[in-house]
Amino acid sequence: MIKTGIIGATGYAGQELMRLLIQHPDCEVEVISSRTYKDTNYNQVYGNYMGITSDKLVDIEIDEISKKVDVLFIALPHGIASNKISAEILQKTKVIDLGADYRLNDLSVYEKWYGVSHGSPQLINEAVYGLCELKRKEIKKADLIANPGCYTTCSILSLMPLVKNNIIDKNSIIVDAKSGVTGAGRALNLGTHFTECNDSIKAYKIASHRHTPEIEQELSIAGDSNITISFTPHLIPMNRGILITAYASLDKKYTYKDIKEVYEGCYKDEQFIRLLPEGVFPETKWVKGSNYCDINFQIDERTNRIIVLGAIDNLIKGAAGQAVQNMNIIFGLEENKGLEMIPSFPI
């Protein structure tokens, strides 16, 4: 059995990790940590665990935890993991960081967009960007995984085939993204109070959201050129889910079938990517509670633009599910072990 630990187990991403790891046939949860709920039974924090686990939360140093586990998931706000992880810790355990500290290859880009200094810049090159469908080979050998962000997972997977195959003007990309409120985490925050976000939709961090350089970095690698995008996130009054609608100019006339072949060329063997039939578009409810990323597109013949839609569950493919998928790859397990959930819609 693979011994796992979760730091930040009381957050929304940490809770989803707990749910997935408890049910994973090859794992046991050895350590769950929290500062706020130290010595509290997990089922007192999250009542859905009553009768399922009586594990207690502990507040011990990462160094201590790393001696007890084969893989450590870190689900903390950005800026903390980089001060906790060291080369010594990586010798004892694999680390999968759900935060943003190791996602950007360029230290100055990280410090500029996140407004904090990085605690372990020497480890940035060691980290592998854990977008499983794109980096499987590197992930297999990695000690430190930078699990991608939620908007970024959905945007990169939806757009990668177009940039990789040079069929769009790579600097014409606009991503309009919507997220459910769990994307903002569990911590108290005025903007996510029921009365502040219910019954309303708002754009935020316009032209300044920190997922912008992450999407640009990975699309630039896939497209082998410097790509700059426009990215606008929106907060939607629903619990979970991300839907992106992306626009780009095509370099010449294509049919739906031409471009479908390009997507199939990239994703035909990918079990978690569902290319929907022509005329059927992704909806967050069809991926809810699952590790799927649904994708489809339409060509607007009047403007010769392609409009691509992608949907994921922000807490699963956008966080905990992808983290478990990364663990499965590292430990040589079937990639879908513990991740075969059927989306939980309709009710």
Ligand X SMILES: NC(=O)C1=CN([C@@H]2O[C@H](COP(=O)(O)OP(=O)(O)OC[C@H]3O[C@@H](n4cnc5c(N)ncnc54)[C@H](OP(=O)(O)O)[C@@H]3O)[C@@H](O)[C@H]2O)C=CC1
Ligand Y SMILES: CC(=O)N[C@@H](CCC(=O)OP(=O)(O)O)C(=O)O
**Stretch near ligand X under the rule CB under 6 A, chosen from 6-14, 162-170, 196-204, 252-260:** 6-14
User: Which of residues 221 and 315 has its CB atom nearest to ligand Y in the complex?
Assistant: 315
Label each residue of 97-162 as H, E or C. ECCCCCCCCCHHHHHHHHCCCCCCHHHCCCCEECCHHHHHHHHHHCCEEECCCHHHHHHHHHHHHH
Interactions with ligand X, residue window 81-120 (CB under 6 A)? 98-99
Q: How many CB atoms lie within 10 A of CB 335?
A: 17
According to CB under 6 A, which one of 5, 130, 149, 223 is a site residue for ligand X? 149
Measured from the CB atom, the residue of 263 and 322 that comes closer to ligand X is 322
* Residue 66: φ, ψ to 5°: -65, -20
The answer to whether 76 contacts ligand X (rule: CB under 6 A) is yes
The binder of 288, among ligand Y, ligand X, none, by C-beta within 5 to 8 A per type, is none
Token pair of 291 as six digits: 């590790």
125 binds ligand X (CB under 6 A): no
Beta bridge partners of 246: 175, 308
233 contact choice in ligand Y, ligand X, none (CB below 5 to 8 Å, kind-dependent) = ligand Y
Taking a C-beta distance cutoff of 8 angstroms, is the pair 139, 283 a contact? no
Just list the catalytic residues. 150
Contact predicate 32/55, CB 8 Å: yes
Nearer to ligand X, 183 or 343 (CB): 183
Give the residues lining the site for ligand Y (CB under 6 A).
78, 99-100, 149-150, 179, 183-184, 211, 233, 235
Q: Which is nearer to ligand Y, 187 or 342 (CB)?
A: 187
Using the Cα atoms of residue 247, residue 253, residue 255 and residue 257 in order, give the sign of their dihedral: negative
For the CA atoms of 308, 313, 317, 323, the dihedral, rounded to the nearest 10 degrees, stands at: 150
Helix (H), strand (E) at residue 264? helix 256-267
CB of 183 to ligand Y, least distance (A): 3
Residue in the shown chain whose Cβ atom is closest to ligand Y: 183
CB of 149 to ligand Y, least distance (A): 3
339 touching ligand X, by CB under 6 A: no
Q: Which of residues 33-52 bind ligand X (CB under 6 A)?
A: 34-37
Shortest spacing between CB 159 and ligand X, in angstroms: 18
Pairing of strands 144-146, 94-97: parallel
* Angle at which helices 107-114 and 211-223 cross, to 10°: 150
- CB of 33 or CB of 250, closer to ligand X: 33
Q: Where on the chain is the footprint of ligand X (CB under 6 A)? A: 8, 10-14, 34-37, 75-78, 80, 98-99, 149-150, 182-183, 185-187, 314-315, 318-319
